[in-house]
Structure 1
Amino acid sequence: MTWIDLHHRTEIVHTVLARAAINPNDPGLFAGIADLDRLFGGVEGLLHALANRWDNHLHVKLELAELDGLTPTEAYLELAAEQPGLRALLDARRAIGQTTRDRALAR
């Protein structure tokens, strides 16, 4: 992957997250995005990348929460407040977006 492709992937992620912040259930959420198939292998690939993004950020939040004396639930809620578009999109696409940590926190 070239730097140009990497930057374009980032633009796609930002575009989708901006759209999701407005309406995560919008049927046109992924419409008109050039190179989505080429750079992510389609919508499913992008959803997996977004779920991975959430997982990475949550992992860091959980580590910091332990150091700061916060509960895992507090860390989760803090991240959800910081990234509402991402969380809303993953919630709207629960089959793809529910991560192992999300299931563990829900117990």
Structure 2
Amino acid sequence: MSWADLHARTDILHTVLDRAARNPADAKLFDELPEMERLFGSRDGVLLALRNRWENHLNVKLDNALAQGKSAVEVYLELAGEQPALRAILDTYDTDHLYIRPRPRALAR
């Protein structure tokens, strides 16, 4: 991926977040996004990128929370307050079926 593509992807994510700040359930949230299909494949690709963004931020905050004595719930609510548009998109659109993580194998048989 080129730097130009990376910046274009970031611009798309920012546009979606800006729109979601006004109305996360807007049917046109993903409309008229130049190059969305080329850069993300589809709306689902944008949703996965946003979900990944949330997961990355949450994991970093959770790592720091242990040292600060915060609970996972406190960290989640803090991040939701810091990024309300992102959280609203993820609450509006079910990304669980898109976000498949490898499952750890059982250690005992």
Shorter chain as denominator, the TM-score bin is 0.7 to 0.9
Secondary structure in 2 aligned to 1:38?
helix
Aligned equivalents of 1:80 and 1:97: distance in 2? 17
CA displacement 1:70-98 (0-9 Å, x = unmatched): 111000000000000000000000x2158
Unaligned runs of 5+ in 1: 101-107
Q: Residue type of the partner of 1:42?
A: S
TM-score by length of 2: 0.86
Aligned equivalents of 1:35 and 1:19: distance in 2? 17
Aligned equivalents of 2:55 and 2:35: distance in 1? 24
Deviation at 1:7, TM superposition (A): 0.3
Secondary structure in 2 aligned to 1:48?
helix
Which stretches of structure 1, 4 residues or longer, exceed 6 Å deviation after superposition?
Answer: none
Secondary structure in 2 aligned to 1:19?
helix
- More helix, by proportion: 1
Aligned residues: 99
Q: Match for residue 53 of structure 2?
A: 53
Unaligned runs of 5+ in 2: 101-109
Q: Residue type of the partner of 1:32?
A: E
Secondary structure in 1 aligned to 2:95?
helix
Residues 6-85 of structure 1 aligned to structure 2 (within 5 Å):
6-85=6-85
Bigger Rg, which one: 2
Secondary structure in 1 aligned to 2:14?
helix
Aligned equivalents of 2:55 and 2:63: distance in 1? 12
Aligned equivalents of 1:71 and 1:8: distance in 2? 36
Aligned equivalents of 2:71 and 2:77: distance in 1? 10
Aligned equivalents of 2:23 and 2:59: distance in 1? 26
Aligned equivalents of 2:96 and 2:39: distance in 1? 19
